[in-house]
Amino acid sequence: MELNLVEHAFELKDGCWIFKAGLAQYSQARQVAKLCTCFIPDDEDEQVDDEPRSCYNCQYRRWMVAGFECLALRHFLQK
């Protein structure tokens, strides 16, 4: 995963990598997913963006009240 991508799109809060743009920011979520090497589509029923390759549709996004945490980033940066 590109570290530039990490710095630009996510911020570390209490050990969680949070998507800075928050909810319903589809163009940013698509842009990040396009560059991400860890993207795996979630179950179709759990997808919320019409564009398939979007962080909002990824198995590694963990929804939070105001956005999501990237679990792939957490695992990647721990290694």
Tell me: does residue 30 bind other proteins (CB under 8 A): no
| The one segment of 2-10, 29-37, 42-50 that binds other proteins by CB under 8 A | 42-50
Q: Dump the DSSP string for 27-69.
A: HHHHHHHHH-SS--B--GGG---SSSSSGGGBTTEEEETTEEE
46-75: which residues touch other proteins (CB under 8 A)?
46-50, 59-65, 71
Applying CB under 8 A, the residues found at the interface with other proteins are 24, 26, 40, 42-50, 59-65, 71
